[in-house]
Amino acid sequence: MATARAPRLHPGAWWIWALGLGTAATRTTNPLLLGLLVGVSGYVVAVCRPDTPWARSYAAFVKLALAVLLIRLGFAVVLGSPVPGTHVVVTLPELPLPAWAQGIRLGGRVTAEALVFACYDGLKLATLLICVGAANALASPSRLLKSLPGALYEAGVAVVVALTFAPHLIADARRLRAARRLRGRPDSGVRGLLQVGLPVLEGALERSVALAAAMDARGYGRVAEVPRAVHRTTAALTLGGLLGVCAGTYGLLTAEGAAYGLPLLLAGVAAALGGLRLGGRRSPRTRYRPDAWGGRAWLVAGSGAAVAALLAVAAGYDPQGLRPGVVPLVAPALPLWPAGAVLLGLLPSFVASEEPS
């Protein structure tokens, strides 16, 4: 007898999980912890991602992260680094600059300390990009749009169209390159890039026109009439809430604002949610088979939030372990309990491994 398939996981849970891992990456420059975060996200993507076009975008984000890391190292080599060092790796010819460009140099000594510092800094940003790529590979953009509140529907459509552009572009490029290889034509080099790139851009333009026609046929942009007082209250709550979120986040990130940061952040979130709820009255729409936020969604989202919270706590108790120094140059050590906290991010591979396509 066939068993009932588990309900689909809410796409918002995947984004909360991925953003939790990305937030944890911003709290450390330890390459061992950052590599562990990359490994956790990659394993969950390999186990849980469905067989869909957007799920193949993870490799593109990994390549983008590697490019960011190489660019950061290149800047450290060419433009120098504020980190002092004594272990000279290479000495490049230094170009003289005018007096108004003091503090900037081109060439000169390249030290091992500066390269290690740039590698740590670039690896942090690369890990954040890979975590965002994991969310793109695991969460369906259309289902995520369906779950947004009415006030964010129009902005959500623009974001979803932007997020789905890259996966579709990658799928079109792969299809055209495979077709050219079957015909015995080159698919690499400048000539192959031009002959593949033009059809890909043409297909993207045709898809954009078809999308615009479909949105127009479905009444996109239609709004309901609401009283002027509701308009003003919605704008005041939303703007005040966003300002409160920004001020509260800044307070949490600084030592001086720790006392007022959390209350201001919670008040801003509550005001913004109230504004979004009122703003949803202008966008009357229905949802076909809405995704339910069940127990598995709580586990997936909670695992990412737990990783972010534990790494934030660890950054306060063991700053040397999470941010190893480069002067003097020492090998980074793996802090045990922060590493165990990162492994909590593997929970989705057990509770959401049967995610249907």
Plot region of 289 (φ>0 → left; ψ -120 to 50 → alpha; else → beta)? left
Q: Would you say residue 287 lies in a domain?
A: no
Q: Which is more confident, 163 or 128?
A: 128
Are 170 and 203 contained in the same domain? yes
What total number of domains does the chain contain?
3
φ, ψ of residue 111 in degrees (nearest 5): -100, 160
Of 204, 223, 242, which residue sits at a domain end?
223
Q: What is the mean pLDDT of the chain?
A: 78
The per-residue pLDDT for 38 is 93
Of 198, 223, 248, which residue sits at a domain end?
223
Are 55 and 108 contained in the same domain? yes
State the helix-helix crossing angle for 153-182 and 189-217, rounded to 10 degrees: 140
Residues contacting residue 285 through CB under 8 Å, at least 6 positions apart: 150, 153
95-141: per-residue pLDDT in tens? Answer: 777 777 666 777 777 888 888 888 988 999 999 999 988 988 888 76
Angle at 138 between CA 49 and CA 207, to 5 degrees: 105
pLDDT band at 3 (very low <50, low <70, confident <90, very high): very low
Question: Would you say 54 and 138 are in contact if contact means Cβ atoms under 8 Å apart?
Answer: no
**b/e 310-341 (16+ beta carbons within 10 angstroms → b):** bbbebbeeeeebbebebeebeebeebeebeeb
Are 263 and 298 contained in the same domain? no
The per-residue pLDDT for 218 is 66
**Domain range for 81:** 7-147+293-357
Are 91 and 197 contained in the same domain? no
Are 89 and 101 contained in the same domain? yes
Are 243 and 305 contained in the same domain? no
Are 195 and 267 contained in the same domain? no
Are 195 and 269 contained in the same domain? no
How much is the pTM? 0.70
Question: Would you say 262 and 252 are in contact if contact means Cβ atoms under 8 Å apart?
Answer: yes
Q: Would you say residue 325 lies in a domain?
A: yes
Q: Would you say residue 1 lies in a domain?
A: no
Q: Would you say residue 102 lies in a domain?
A: yes
Are 57 and 139 contained in the same domain? yes
187-220: per-residue pLDDT in tens? Answer: 666 666 667 777 777 777 777 677 767 766 766 6
Q: Would you say residue 288 lies in a domain?
A: no
Question: Would you say 114 and 141 are in contact if contact means Cβ atoms under 8 Å apart?
Answer: no
51-74: per-residue pLDDT in tens? Answer: 776 677 788 889 999 999 999 888
Q: Which is more confident, 208 or 326?
A: 326
Taking residues 129-157, report their average pLDDT.
74
Residues contacting residue 68 through CB under 8 Å, at least 6 positions apart: 122, 125, 126, 129
The percent of residues above 70 in pLDDT, for the chain, comes to 74
Range with the largest mean pLDDT of 138-147, 174-183, 200-209, 304-313 = 304-313
260-300: per-residue pLDDT in tens? Answer: 777 888 888 888 878 777 766 666 666 666 667 788 889 99
Are 218 and 231 contained in the same domain? no
| H, E, C per residue of 229-289 | HHHHHHHHHHHHHHHHHHHHHHHHHCCCCHHHHHHHHHHHHHHHHHHHHHHHHHCCCCCCC
pLDDT band at 35 (very low <50, low <70, confident <90, very high): very high
DSSP three-state, residue 157:
helix
Are 38 and 132 contained in the same domain? yes
CA 263 to chain centre: 26
The per-residue pLDDT for 44 is 92
The per-residue pLDDT for 2 is 39
Are 12 and 117 contained in the same domain? yes
Taking residues 141-170, report their average pLDDT.
66
The per-residue pLDDT for 354 is 53
